[in-house]
Amino acid sequence: MAGHGDMHYPLHKSVANFVLSVLVVLPSLLIARKFIADAKHLPPSAFSSPASPPDIDLTAVAAAAADATGGGNPEWWWRVVAWGVRRPIGCVCALFALNVDVLFWVISLLQRSTWLIDPYWTFIPPLILEFYSAHPAASTCAPRARLVRVVLLLWSARLTHSYLRREQWRWGWREDWRFSDMRRQYGRHWWWLSFPLVYVFQHVLLVGLTLPLYAVHASASPLSPLDLLAASLALTGIVTAAVADTQLHAFMTNNDRLRAAGKPSVLLLDSGIWRYSRHPNYFGEQLFWWALALWGWNAGMGWTVVGTVVNSLCMVAVTVLVEKRMRGKEERREMFEAYCRRTSMWVPWFAGKQGKVE
């Protein structure tokens, strides 16, 4: 759940932040478009398998491209393009560093809120997929690529809807509660600590998690039963997270109504899918990302699972943090401890004998 916010958030601020969220990604889109268009003018020697690029003379390649196009771009740009056609992941890292690490960070300093990174968690993976797909050195199995695109877009749509519903359809209303806590904890040092702790960290997570998308667009191996298994697991993860988030939203909405009526709120959600897992939304997300990792493995690039491993380790830490927060309220502590004893942490499983808390 998110951190601080104003229930009377003005409409004009929401509209302004929506426009900002649309415009802020334009630098990356324009640079990527120019890169892809100009890469077509490179000589054949510039292209090879991006998985193992041989050494080439970038200066010679840049000079040849400049001559072929009549010198419309400076030589340094052609060197960048020649470097980029062999290193797609490097291109993604460079664009992310400029557009998210730096620009998002500057905006957060001006707005005193890191909210912008939250909705872009749902948009960045599809943008990265489109870049890998359009990359001039891409080589893929078309049915697998289409399958991955459909599943990823479903994931993005699900998470976007969940985010906007949670924020009550207000753009930039509030930042994640974990960042709000860190803002209070680090005080006057937060302005510079937010750069590594929020943006560089998200860089590592998102580029790492999307490494299997690179693998899918760097291997033309034929479709196999593992691809269908990965799609099934990914869809299961999406549905599980959607059900969990919907039940959590209904629980929180009902508590809002109870408080508005002057009645005590319900302290714990332990019904529906939450009866079988304390964090079914986290489980659904992890299942989706591990399904994506399976695609990377099946494409012959097992090393692309490294980002998924890092993300799962981070999710363990987040789970510990969330449960510590749940125990923070004295009136809920005993009830939550009993819930923990009978309910699986992540993987949905049959509840213990104690049954539902009244």
Q: Check residue 132 and give its pLDDT.
A: 98
Q: Check residue 8 and give its pLDDT.
A: 76
pLDDT band at 62 (very low <50, low <70, confident <90, very high): low
The answer to whether residue 358 scores a pLDDT higher than 70 is: no
Q: Which long-range contacts link 193-200 to residues 24+ away (Cβ below 8 Å)?
A: 194/105, 194/108, 194/109, 194/114, 195/101, 195/105, 198/105, 198/108, 198/114, 198/117, 199/100, 199/101, 199/102, 199/104, 199/105, 199/117, 200/101
Q: Give residue 114's identity as a one-letter amino acid code.
A: T
**Residue predicted with more confidence, 354 or 203:** 203
Record the pTM. 0.91
**Residue predicted with more confidence, 333 or 51:** 333
CB 223 within 8 A of CB 316: no
* Lowest mean pLDDT across 4-8, 11-15, 110-114, 251-255: 4-8
Enter the tokens of residue 308: 């998924």
The answer to whether residue 247 scores a pLDDT higher than 70 is: yes
pLDDT band at 351 (very low <50, low <70, confident <90, very high): confident
275's CB contacts (< 8 A; 6+ apart) are 343, 351, 356
The answer to whether residue 2 scores a pLDDT higher than 60 is: no
Q: Check residue 42 and give its pLDDT.
A: 83
The answer to whether residue 50 scores a pLDDT higher than 70 is: no
**Residue predicted with more confidence, 154 or 64:** 154
The answer to whether residue 125 scores a pLDDT higher than 70 is: yes
Query: pLDDT tens-digit profile of 183-227?
Result: 999 999 999 999 999 999 999 999 999 999 999 999 999 999 999
CB 82 within 8 A of CB 56: yes
pLDDT band at 68 (very low <50, low <70, confident <90, very high): low
CB 284 within 8 A of CB 216: no
The answer to whether residue 156 scores a pLDDT higher than 90 is: yes
